């Protein structure tokens, strides 16, 4: 009868190949986001619109007014995310960081929209 149980050598090889693949993916995403450089950030609320230039050295906290209250937007080392919002579901906080998430964050209940204009657009 043929045994389907893999040997310890095969398990070690599979673990090694998995580790190499994981490191490759991490390196790809690290250099992919660094290659963007600077981009414009367009922030719209229910009253007006503002633009901010974002690059690797940009570090600030913006308070954006909405009908429910203030939405707190962090900009740090080229990344942009919502850290606090008065909306009930907090979906805008869970949307991730620009530019990693595709360049868009919206808090619809508080009427705040954040969009990145990346260099290739």
Tokens of 109: 């209940």
Of the chain, the percentage scoring pLDDT greater than 70 comes to 87
What CATH number does the domain containing 73 carry? 2.60.320.10
Q: Are 55 and 108 within one domain?
A: yes
| CA-CA-CA-CA torsion sign (9, 14, 15, 20) | positive
Q: Are 51 and 99 within one domain?
A: yes
* pLDDT per residue as tens digits for the range 50-96: 999 998 888 999 999 999 999 999 999 889 999 999 999 999 999 99
User: Do the Cβ atoms of 112 and 64 come closer than 8 Å?
Assistant: yes
Q: Are 97 and 68 within one domain?
A: yes
Count: domains in the chain: 2
Look at residue 97 and tell me whether its pLDDT is greater than 60: yes
Q: Are 105 and 47 within one domain?
A: yes
The Cα–Cα gap between 17 and 114 comes to 39
As a whole number, the mean pLDDT across the chain is: 85
DSSP-H helix ranges across 1-88:
8-34
Mean local confidence (pLDDT), 12-23 = 82
């Amino acid at each position: 009868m043929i045994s389907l149980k893999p040997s310890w050598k095969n398990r070690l090889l599979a673990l090694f190949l998995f580790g190499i693949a994981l490191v490759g993916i991490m390196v790809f995403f690290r250099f992919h986001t660094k290659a963007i450089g600077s981009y414009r950030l367009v922030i719209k609320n229910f009253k007006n619109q503002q633009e901010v230039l974002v690059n690797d050295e940009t570090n600030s906290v913006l308070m954006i007014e909405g009908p429910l209250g203030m939405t707190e937007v962090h900009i740090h080392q080229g990344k942009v995310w919502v850290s606090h919002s008065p909306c009930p579901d907090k979906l805008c906080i869970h949307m991730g960081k620009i530019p990693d998430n595709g360049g868009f964050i919206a808090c619809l209940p508080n009427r705040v929209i954040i969009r990145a204009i990346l260099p290739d657009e």
